[in-house]
């Protein structure tokens, strides 16, 4: 849908920021203060959009990083302004603390392998615990130097944005100057995010959003990418938080409230997630509307955990009208899950005519030219498993399997359902770690290496159910695979073109992968495997769902692959196995049952027994 | 420390752990059985508390109020499931957002109806003395109720036809449907049951904390942490996590300050998840 290509090199958003900078010419100071708040909110919303809309990490924690940085700004500026005569240091401190907090939380979540729903709940719980935590700091013993934390009443008398030098003047910025500073910083952050997303980094984080498993199997350390985005998002939220504290000269624990977190999500949902200007538009629109609504109920005292608190009028507009906010959230989720502004814009825009290239690809596959055949079939052992076991509870899906494969070997694994073939593949590629036993790859032990580390060493897998990026084009899919290996845009483009030829899909290059036929999806995934220039290729049921012609073409493709790398194929289709004419290993009940050529195995009574089920049928009678 | 002090402190901690279990149970049932994270859980608790308040004021009997709370909140649960949740099955984040919106609406709605101030309820059952200290019988009652609620939940899921169907729908939805389990009905009942547990929780804590629209906030973060740390097995996980987190939080709160107790809870929870990403009961199958 919104591949990074959608973040095009467009100049008009910057024109928009420039226009924003001119607004004080027309508006009075009161409106300028208002618009400034919208812009700060837009920055906060941008941080969530980066993390959620682009990287697919749903975080309730942006309010926490925002608030935390606000407190850090408050505490450092109150203490330092007398010495340094400026608050830029305090802004940096806030941003750094927020970014570091996000990074450490992200480390625990992403390196711990916590699921995406848990990420949402953990970030939420952290935010709420900060609410109670900061709320329990009433009293003079809770102070950072001269700055009182102040419990639910918050920290007061926070300096406005101030520039100066330790020895020179101290200039507190005027309302208009503060506003201009925020406009410039927001524009720079916006530009920075746009540029970042246009780099390969942007494509990789959206790839993680679309299909994290595949991205990992391509050799990207998805944990590190997620951590980076999350820390960056935390830092941007923190930047907004420091501006907010400076803007209102005040911060209190209400920034950690559920409602505040909800409002950020609404800004992004209204503006449309995955669009970078959307968060700014959403924040402005929602706050304008809630300002109108809020005028009714402004100034009403409210209570948090037994403390009555009377908000000043400006706060009432920021945290306004929970009833309206809540209803809006429910309605948006039920009716416009992809965002309000995008939904309206979609109505206005004409759908691009669906002139989808549905040309027949029959026979195209033959066109693929052979790639340079590198490895000489030899006796070098590429992979070796020693007595590997994988147990699920009491079931030993793989039971003490020792197998070794040499360079350039083509091997088929066959066996009845549940024999342990796919589990064995998952042990080889690193999705499962073995319960016991060791795995060696080119002499190095890789038993405890993660999937992306094995992928980088040259182990590449096509999964049983095609695992591709449905919303990306064929070309983008291959690009991600090739870039994982090449790490250079030019070489990557060249590799993509080669592989497109190899798998016979050059005419489908710009079609979304989700629209391919089943057989084409299989080829695309094989193509992604090939694009990584692996030394060992694992293909799990490559011909599932293919027509007879497609199967024939796949035989040719797999045999070509066999000339370049060690290839292991799990397959049920015996005619395919026969056509490959490779050595066959038979799995049965988690063990290696037999090994040999197809011809040898055809004359092996025991193999025929287990394959035809005679074994299972007759054993109860024998017993 | 004198023995009577130790006894009173230990009793207080056990009560806190029981409260944590009571508060987390409904959330855990709805998440464990339906994969729905109900962010309005705290507000369902709040509705339970207001039911007790209203019924007690009308009839003079707090016990009648406690009996009414699960029924009233279960009805709210049915309405919520029919009007919002059922459109969002399989979209976990969207359910979170919608129930979150619901929580804001409920807090504000109740604030408009009942006002923002805390309203007290007399704690029933009176006190008894432990050496130089005194403790309330109601604390004991809460411990008993925690055990009773766990037992009821166990029996409902293991001994009733509905429970069997709900567990089937959790583990293999397609197969359950093929065998004629009406998943929609089973989900509705599960949500109502979870809501009833939340209502009971609200009713039980109301005399201790007082009744206020934001009552859910005080518990919701801890309840979520308990559910996550607990992992996929609802009863086992919730009990273990509540005990573990409760002990840490209370010990630190007692030895240092409640402020640090909150921090300790968070730190322990995150550390456990770093080591056991799918929670304490992570090795077990999803279900009861």
Q: How many CB atoms lie within 10 A of CB B262?
A: 23
Which residue from B minimizes the CA distance to A324?
A: B105
User: How far is residue B219's CA from residue B229's CA, in Å, rounded to a whole number?
Assistant: 15
Please check the confidence at residue A70 and state whether its pLDDT lies above 90: yes
Q: Please answer whether residues A461 and A538 qualify as being in contact, where contact means their C-beta atoms are separated by less than 8 angstroms.
A: yes
Which tokens hold the place of A370?
């052979």
Pairwise CB contact (< 8 Å): B97 & A108: no
Q: Please answer whether residues A241 and A70 qualify as being in contact, where contact means their C-beta atoms are separated by less than 8 angstroms.
A: yes
Distance from CA of B217 to the nearest CA of A (A): 8
B287 part of contact set with chain A, CB < 8 Å = no
User: How far is residue B187's CA from residue B193's CA, in Å, rounded to a whole number?
Assistant: 10
How would DSSP label each residue in A397-466? EEEEEEEEEETT-EEEEE-STTSSHHHHHHHHHTSS--SEEEEEETTEE-TT--HHHHHHHTEEEE-SS-
B217 part of contact set with chain A, CB < 8 Å = yes
Distance from CA of B279 to the nearest CA of A (A): 9
Pairwise CB contact (< 8 Å): A132 & B221: yes
Of the candidates B88, B210, B277, which has its C-beta nearest A114's C-beta?
Answer: B277
Instruction: Give me the percent of chain B exceeding a pLDDT of 70.
Output: 97
Beta bridge partners of A381: A406
Q: How confident is the model at residue A207 (pLDDT cuts 50, 70, 90)?
A: very high
Please check the confidence at residue A368 and state whether its pLDDT lies above 70: no
B225: which chain A residues are within 8 Å (Cβ-Cβ)? 125
Instruction: Give me the percent of chain A exceeding a pLDDT of 90.
Output: 34
The 3-state DSSP composition of chain B as helix, strand, coil percent (nearest 5) reads 75, 5, 20
- Which of A260, A261, A254 shows the shortest CA–CA distance to A307? A254
pLDDT tens digit sequence for A384-438: 999 999 988 778 889 899 998 988 889 999 888 888 888 999 999 988 889 999 9
Of the candidates B92, B97, B118, which has its C-beta nearest A117's C-beta?
Answer: B92
B273 part of contact set with chain A, CB < 8 Å = yes
Per-window interface: B 75-114 vs A, CB < 8 A? 84, 87-88, 91-94, 96-98, 100-109, 111-112
Which tokens hold the place of B12?
């207080």
The alpha carbon dihedral of B247, B248, B249, B251 has a sign of positive
pTM of the model: 0.83
Q: Please answer whether residues B71 and B52 qualify as being in contact, where contact means their C-beta atoms are separated by less than 8 angstroms.
A: no
- Which of A9, A4, A137, A165 shows the shortest CA–CA distance to A81? A165
Q: How confident is the model at residue A99 (pLDDT cuts 50, 70, 90)?
A: very high
3-state secondary structure of A586: strand
How far is CA A379 from each of CA A321, A544, A559, rounded to the nearest angstrom?
A: 74, 32, 19
Beta bridge partners of A438: A386
Beta bridge partners of A360: none
Beta bridge partners of B130: B133
Beta bridge partners of A163: A171
Which of A99-108, A253-262, B197-206 comes out lowest in average pLDDT? A253-262
Q: How confident is the model at residue A364 (pLDDT cuts 50, 70, 90)?
A: very low
Q: Identify the top-confidence range among A2-6, A286-290, A532-536.
A: A532-536
Beta bridge partners of A585: A413, A595
Distance from CA of A525 to the nearest CA of B (A): 27
User: How far is residue B278's CA from residue B241's CA, in Å, rounded to a whole number?
Assistant: 12
How far is CA B188 from each of CA B22, B47, B72, B105, B193, rounded to the nearest angstrom?
A: 21, 19, 15, 21, 9
A124: which chain B residues are within 8 Å (Cβ-Cβ)? 39, 221, 224
Which residue from B minimizes the CA distance to A309?
A: B116
Per-window interface: B 2-61 vs A, CB < 8 A? 37, 39
- Which of A404, A453, A450 shows the shortest CA–CA distance to A427? A450
Which residue has better confidence, A338 or A540? A540
B87: which chain A residues are within 8 Å (Cβ-Cβ)? 334
Pairwise CB contact (< 8 Å): B87 & A131: no
pLDDT tens digit sequence for A279-294: 999 898 888 877 666 5
B257: which chain A residues are within 8 Å (Cβ-Cβ)? 136
Of the candidates B112, B212, B218, which has its C-beta nearest A303's C-beta?
Answer: B212
A269: which chain B residues are within 8 Å (Cβ-Cβ)? 97
Question: What mean pLDDT value characterizes chain A?
Answer: 82
Task: Tell me the mean pLDDT in the region A152-175.
Answer: 88
Of the candidates B93, B116, B221, which has its C-beta nearest A125's C-beta?
Answer: B221
Beta bridge partners of B287: B233
Distance from CA of B6 to the nearest CA of A (A): 26
Pairwise CB contact (< 8 Å): B118 & A303: yes
pLDDT tens digit sequence for B67-101: 888 999 999 999 998 888 888 877 777 888 888 88
3-state secondary structure of A358: coil
Distance from CA of B269 to the nearest CA of A (A): 9
pLDDT tens digit sequence for A474-532: 999 999 999 998 888 889 999 999 999 888 888 888 989 989 888 888 889 999 998 99
pLDDT at site A292: 64
pLDDT at site A237: 97
């Amino acid at each position: 849908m919104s591949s990074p290509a959608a973040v095009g090199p467009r100049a008009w958003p910057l024109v928009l920021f420039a226009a924003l900078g001119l607004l004080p010419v027309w508006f009075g100071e009161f409106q300028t203060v208002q618009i400034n708040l919208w812009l700060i909110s837009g920055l906060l919303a941008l941080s969530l959009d980066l993390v959620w809309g682009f990287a697919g990490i749903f975080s309730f924690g942006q309010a926490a990083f925002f608030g935390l940085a606000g407190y850090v700004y408050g505490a450092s500026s109150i203490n330092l302004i007398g010495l340094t005569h400026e608050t830029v240091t305090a802004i940096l401190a806030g941003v750094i603390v927020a970014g570091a907090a996000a990074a450490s939380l992200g480390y625990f979540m992403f390196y711990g392998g916590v699921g995406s729903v848990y990420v949402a709940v953990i970030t939420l719980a952290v935010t709420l615990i900060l609410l109670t935590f900061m709320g329990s700091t009433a009293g003079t013993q809770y102070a950072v130097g001269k700055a009182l934390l102040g419990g639910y009443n918050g920290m007061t008398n926070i300096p406005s944005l101030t520039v100066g030098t330790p020895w020179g003047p101290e200039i507190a910025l005027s309302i208009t100057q503060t506003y201009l500073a925020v406009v410039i910083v927001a524009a720079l952050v916006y530009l920075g995010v746009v540029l970042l997303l246009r780099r390969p980094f942007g494509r990789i984080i959206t790839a993680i959003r679309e299909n994290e498993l595949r991205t990992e199997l391509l050799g990207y350390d998805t944990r590190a990418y997620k951590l980076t985005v999350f820390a960056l998002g935390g830092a941007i939220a923190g930047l907004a938080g420091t501006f907010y504290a400076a803007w209102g000269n005040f911060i209190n624990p209400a920034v950690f409230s559920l409602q505040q977190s909800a409002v950020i999500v609404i800004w992004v949902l209204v503006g449309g997630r995955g669009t970078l200007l959307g968060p700014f538009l959403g924040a402005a629109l929602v706050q304008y509307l809630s300002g109108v609504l809020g005028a009714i109920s402004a100034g009403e005292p409210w209570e948090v955990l037994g403390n009555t608190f009377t908000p000043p009028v400006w706060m009432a507009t920021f945290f306004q009208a929970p009833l309206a906010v809540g209803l809006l959230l429910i309605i948006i989720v039920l009716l416009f899950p992809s965002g309000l502004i995008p939904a309206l814009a979609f109505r206005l825009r004409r759908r691009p005519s669906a002139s989808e290239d549905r040309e027949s690809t029959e026979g195209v596959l033959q066109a693929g030219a052979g790639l340079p055949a590198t490895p000489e079939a030899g006796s070098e052992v590429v992979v070796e498993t020693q007595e590997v076991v994988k147990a699920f509870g009491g079931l030993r899906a793989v039971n003490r399997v020792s197998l070794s494969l040499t360079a350039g070997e083509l091997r088929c694994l066959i066996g009845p359902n549940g024999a342990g073939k796919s589990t064995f593949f998952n042990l080889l590629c690193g999705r499962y770690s073995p319960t016991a036993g060791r795995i060696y790859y080119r002499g190095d032990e890789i038993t405890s290496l993660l999937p992306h580390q094995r992928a980088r060493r040259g182990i590449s897998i096509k999964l049983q159910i095609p695992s591709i990026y449905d919303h990306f084009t064929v070309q983008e899919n291959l690009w991600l695979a090739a870039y994982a290996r090449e790490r250079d845009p030019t070489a990557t483009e060249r590799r993509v073109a080669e592989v497109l030829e190899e798998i016979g899909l050059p005419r489908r290059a710009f079609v979304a992968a989700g629209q391919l036929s089943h057989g084409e999806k299989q080829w695309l995934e094989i193509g992604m495997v090939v694009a990584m220039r692996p030394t060992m290729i694992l293909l799990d049921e490559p011909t599932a769902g293919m027509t007879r012609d497609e199967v024939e073409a796949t035989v040719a493709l797999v045999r070509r692959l066999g000339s370049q790398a060690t290839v292991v194929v799990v397959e049920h289709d015996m005619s395919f196995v026969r056509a490959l004419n490779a050595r066959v290993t038979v799995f049965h009940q988690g063990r290696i049952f037999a090994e040999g050529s197809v011809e040898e195995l055809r004359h092996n009574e025991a193999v025929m027994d287990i394959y035809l089920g005679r074994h299972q049928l007759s054993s109860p009678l024998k017993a | 420390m004198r023995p009577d002090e130790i006894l009173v402190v230990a009793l207080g901690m056990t009560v806190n752990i029981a409260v944590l279990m009571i508060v987390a149970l409904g959330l855990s049932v709805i998440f464990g059985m339906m994969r729905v994270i109900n962010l309005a859980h705290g507000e369902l608790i709040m509705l339970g508390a207001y039911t007790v308040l209203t019924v007690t004021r009308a009839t003079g009997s707090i016990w009648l109020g406690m009996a009414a709370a699960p029924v009233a909140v279960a009805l709210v649960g049915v309405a919520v499931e029919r009007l919002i949740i059922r459109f969002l099955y399989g979209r976990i984040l969207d359910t979170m957002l919608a129930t979150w919106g619901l929580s804001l609406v409920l807090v504000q709605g109740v604030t408009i109806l009942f006002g923002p101030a805390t309203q007290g309820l007399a704690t029933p059952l009176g006190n008894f003395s432990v050496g130089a200290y005194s403790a309330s019988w109601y604390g004991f009652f809460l411990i008993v109720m925690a055990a009773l609620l766990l037992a009821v939940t166990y029996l409902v899921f293991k001994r009733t036809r509905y429970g069997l169907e709900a567990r089937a729908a959790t583990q293999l939805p397609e197969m359950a449907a093929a065998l004629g389990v009406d998943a929609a009905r089973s989900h509705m009942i599960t949500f109502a049951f979870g809501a009833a547990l939340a209502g009971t929780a609200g009713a039980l804590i109301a005399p201790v904390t007082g009744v206020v629209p934001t009552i859910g906030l005080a518990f919701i973060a801890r309840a979520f942490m308990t559910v996550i740390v607990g992992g996929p097995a609802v009863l086992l996980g919730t009990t273990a996590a509540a005990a573990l987190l409760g002990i840490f939080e209370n010990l630190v709160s007692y030895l240092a300050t409640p402020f640090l107790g909150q921090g300790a809870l968070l730190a322990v929870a995150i550390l456990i998840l770093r080591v056991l990403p799918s929670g304490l009961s992570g090795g077990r199958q999803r279900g009861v």
